[in-house]
Amino acid sequence: MAAQRIVLGIESSCDETGAGLVSGGRLLGHAVASSMDEHVRFGGVVPEIAARAHVHALNPVVREALDDAGLRMSDVDAVAVTTGPGLSGALQVGLAGAKALAYGLGVPLYGVHHLAGHVAADTLEHGPLPNPCVVLIVSGGHTSLLLVRDLVRDPIVHLGDTLDDAAGECFDKVARVFGLPYPGGPAVDRAARDGDPRAVAFPRPLTGPRDDPYAFSFSGLKTAAARWAERHRATGTDLPVADGAASLQEAVADVLTRKAVAACAAHGVGTLVVVGGVAANSRVRALAEERCAAAGITLRVPPLKLCTDNGAMIAAVGDLLVRAGAEPAPLDVSIDPSTPLEYAALHPVVAGAGRAAAA
């Protein structure tokens, strides 16, 4: 019976308000509302604007997800919600709404780590994760290589993380220098279609023999791209944006996929899972396919609609927790905006202080 329980997932960590419904590993329906258009003129997400947008969008998005699944609120058997990391005000809106729904329905509530949600998103398309697998999480705020066994029962092992800027942050900041719109990742991807990826010899950070083999650093690449643009503009000629975008994208994809494939080989793992917003980048996906095929590694990447933030991925973790018999969150569960990824469940009881994360 547990496998048939319907879990409602709510995501509100940044500028997307998401709701999704999952049962037995199957996505039943989901909906997303984005406040991105309200942030464009600022060149990045404004936390207060994002939080207010979540307040307005949460109820309509939950209703839309239920309609998409052909369900009623009374059909929901559990609620899962992102409790960190993310923007504090945005997380508070999602948690408050999730608590109200869970308590009103009399069903258990589960706190979920946002990044574990990205990992679980792939299960909605490709089924259970192999045990073990290597996961590359790459987004606007996070770039990490993980060794994942049982996602909701075992601790998540960090093989490497970004030391400074994440890959998506690099795209956003360089796009602004290039005169491309926000968000930078999709804009760079579009511009790169008409460019030559070999036109500019951008550096490949942390790829030397003495460097940490699985750590990432994109701050130097961001600076190199900015200096290239400055030097070119100083000549009084138009900036070849397409070539710059293609070369930047190639550098990021090269570093990401090179390290991910190396991690699989070093740990004897036959499956690489690439998730997060930057997993939607066309060159990252293509180069990952090419290198995984050459190395005999199975590549799994969620469909584009599940790469960016959404409620379905949070529901997917909640569904796994329910089926694993995990303890629900306590009544005083709070948020932890800057928590590292250690476990899929995240049940902090005091914001910014100790947490009890268990699966």
- In tens digits, the chain (359 residues) has pLDDT values of 344 899 999 999 999 999 999 999 999 999 999 987 888 888 888 989 999 999 999 999 999 999 999 999 999 999 999 999 999 999 999 999 999 999 999 999 999 999 999 999 999 999 999 999 999 999 888 999 999 999 999 999 999 999 999 999 999 999 999 999 989 999 999 999 999 999 999 999 999 988 999 999 999 999 999 999 999 999 998 999 999 999 999 999 999 999 999 999 999 999 999 999 999 999 999 999 999 999 999 999 999 999 999 999 999 999 999 999 999 999 899 999 999 999 999 999 974 444 444 44
Residue 20: strand pairing partners: 9, 30
> What is the spatial distance between Cα 45 and Cα 160, in angstroms, rounded to a whole number?
26
> What is the spatial distance between Cα 97 and Cα 58, in angstroms, rounded to a whole number?
7
Tell which residue, 85, 158, 147, has the closest CA to residue 115. Answer: 85
Q: Which amino acid is at 122?
A: D
Name residue, tokens 């008409």: 194
**Is 130 buried (19+), middle (13-18) or exposed (0-12) by CB count in 10 A?**
middle
Expressed in angstroms, the distance from the first to the final Cα of the chain is: 20
Both structure tokens of 296? 């005999």
Name the pairing type of β-strands 347-348 and 78-84: unpaired
* pTM of the predicted model as reported, rounded to 2 decimal places: 0.94
Residue 135: strand pairing partners: 146, 273
| Helix (H) or strand (E) run with residue 265 in it | helix 241-266
